[in-house]
């Protein structure tokens, strides 16, 4: 029995219950022998139905379906060196009789995962748009911050500090700010991911992982942060040092 059904109906392992096709109708008295935890299958997250697993003879008596099945699975075990064993078995099954068709598990997986592929591409598009927008916003902030220090830059230029040294100092400061922001972002992302998993696991009562922060994601985020910070700092500094020092003083 599905553990969600057991929790909602107050049923425990070892209880005797009556299974019937209609409420109050005749049925079979069975003993609950096990509680089944819901699998981590994204295709079943939004499904709210309960599940009960029976012996085949009990199921036949209960639904009155006779000796018929809608679908069944066949596992092919072959020599590891043999190739195409599954395809050969599928051809034999399809040629055995008319009225049914065998499909390989990979095709079924592709059909059932199309929705999640669309969602994944949609999330990727949102991510690209967010990165581009954040890069533009970061560049604007860097331009404003560096422009506020134009008098300091002018004083450094008049003291004999080269434009290259000023650009390097601004780029180094941008790298430090980007690194600090990356650390804060990773911590916030990990906390947000943990909260999302905790909340939706409670809502859907499933062990499925809804949000995942991996090393690849962290590496990509840190690399993007550092690259955008360095580019924005270099562009803002170069824009400022190209102006004459007296012009930076407003003269």
pLDDT in tens, 36-49: 877 776 666 666 67
242: left (phi over 0), alpha (psi -120 to 50) or beta: alpha
Write a three-state SS string for 198-242: HHHHHHHCCCCCCCCCCHHHHHHHHHHHHHHHHHHHHHHHHHHHC
pLDDT at 198: 92
Indicate if the pLDDT at residue 120 is higher than 60: yes
DSSP H stretches of helix in the chain: 3-9, 56-63, 85-96, 105-112, 114-148, 150-158, 163-204, 215-241, 245-248
- pTM score of the predicted model: 0.62
pLDDT tens across 124-135, in order? 888 788 878 877
pLDDT tier for residue 82 given thresholds of 50, 70 and 90: low
d(CA 55, CA 206): 25
């Amino acid at each position: 029995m599905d553990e969600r059904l057991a929790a909602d109906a107050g049923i425990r392992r070892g209880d005797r219950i009556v299974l019937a096709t209609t409420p109050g109708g005749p049925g079979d008295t069975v003993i609950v022998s096990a509680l089944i935890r819901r699998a981590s299958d994204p295709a079943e997250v939004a499904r709210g139905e309960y599940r009960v697993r029976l012996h085949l003879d009990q199921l036949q008596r209960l639904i009155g379906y006779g000796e018929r099945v809608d679908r069944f699975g066949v596992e092919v075990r072959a020599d590891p060196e043999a190739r195409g064993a599954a395809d050969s078995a599928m051809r034999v099954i399809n040629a055995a009789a008319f009225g049914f068709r065998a499909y390989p598990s990979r095709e079924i997986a592709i059909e059932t995962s199309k929705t999640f592929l669309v969602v994944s591409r949609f999330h990727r598009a949102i991510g690209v748009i967010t990165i581009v927008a954040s890069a533009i916003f970061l560049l604007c902030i860097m331009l404003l911050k560096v422009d506020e220090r134009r008098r300091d830059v002018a004083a450094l230029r008049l003291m004999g500090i080269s434009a290259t040294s000023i650009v390097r100092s601004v780029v180094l400061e941008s790298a430090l700010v980007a690194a600090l922001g990356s650390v804060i972002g990773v911590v916030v992302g990990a906390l947000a991911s943990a909260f999302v998993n905790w909340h939706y696991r409670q809502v859907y009562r499933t062990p499925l992982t809804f949000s995942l922060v991996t090393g690849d994601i962290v590496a990509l985020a840190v690399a993007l942060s550092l690259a955008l910070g360095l580019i924005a700092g270099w562009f803002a500094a170069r824009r400022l040092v190209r102006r004459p020092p007296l012009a930076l003083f407003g003269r």
